[in-house]
Chain A
Amino acid sequence: DTEVTQTPKHLVMGMTNKKSLKCEQHMGHRAMYWYKQKAKKPPELMFVYSYEKLSINESVPSRFSPECPNSSLLNLHLHALQPEDSALYLCASSQPTTNEKLFFGSGTQLSVL
């Protein structure tokens, strides 16, 4: 069983909707990540939070808004998305020290109509 829980597993939204993806871990990790994965492609990093502070934003459009309310939770708020934003969104966590392995959730499959 994965120790990183993502909800919902599937999400369909229109381009005018506002929705949120949620991620939770209880391993005491202090680094959390959002990755985007298009079909048949590798995951691409979007955001990194370290000690609940945003440390990396990989030039992600502002229609994606991350939030880390505490050390166990990571949200991704979605607004005015485009059909090309349809993808699998993966959350991961790790200790923030060098070369610690990342634990991934099962992802949220997002479809934007």
Chain B
Amino acid sequence: AQKITQTQPGMFVQEKEAVTLDCTYDTSDQSYGLFWYKQPSSGEMIFLIYQGSYDEQNATEGRYSLNFQKARKSANLVISASQLGDSAMYFCAMRGALDAGNMLTFGGGTRLMVKP
């Protein structure tokens, strides 16, 4: 069984500073995918970034980067130059090799609050 753990229920960051949101995972699959989603108070889940288990480079998407440490089974999200609009819930998610379709297993989430 797969498991995703986000150990930070809530975090504060000062506007314009960088912040790291932690995510660790447990799987016996060799092939898997890791995703980060943002959920503002409106409820929509917004895709941020994806990392494949065989990708050698860390994924980057604008201000978002993924610090992928395969041996440690961690996939931390780094947000650079935080903005007030970054205040939201952030979910780490995983798709295993045997998962049909693109079903995702989500971690418990981290609520990020950006201070002006």
The residues in B between 77 and 111 inclusive whose CB is less than 8 angstroms from any CB of A are 91, 95, 100-104, 106-109
Question: A81 at interface (Cβ–Cβ under 8 A)?
Answer: no
A88–B109 CA distance with the chains assembled, in angstroms: 16
Question: B47 at interface (Cβ–Cβ under 8 A)?
Answer: yes
The residues in B between 37 and 53 inclusive whose CB is less than 8 angstroms from any CB of A are 37, 42-47, 50, 52
| Cross-interface CB contact of A90 among B43, B101, B103, cutoff 8 Å | B43
Question: B35 at interface (Cβ–Cβ under 8 A)?
Answer: yes
Question: A21 at interface (Cβ–Cβ under 8 A)?
Answer: no
A55 and B100 in contact, given A42-B109, A101-B47 (Cβ under 8 angstroms)? yes
A101 and B50 in contact, given A50-B101, A55-B100, A107-B43 (Cβ under 8 angstroms)? yes
Return chain A residues, CB-CB under 8 Å to B100: 48, 50, 55-56
The residues in A between 18 and 60 inclusive whose CB is less than 8 angstroms from any CB of B are 31, 33, 41-45, 48, 50, 55-56
B104→A102 contact, CB < 8 A? yes
| Cross-interface CB contact of B45 among A55, A56, A90, A98, cutoff 8 Å | A90
B43→A56 contact, CB < 8 A? no
On B, residues with C-beta under 8 Å from A are 33, 35, 37, 42-47, 50, 52, 91, 95, 100-104, 106-109
Q: A31-B102, A101-B35 are in contact. List 16 more A-B contacts (CB 8 A).
A: A41-B108, A43-B91, A48-B101, A88-B43, A90-B43, A90-B45, A96-B102, A99-B52, A99-B102, A102-B35, A102-B47, A102-B102, A103-B47, A104-B44, A106-B44, A107-B43
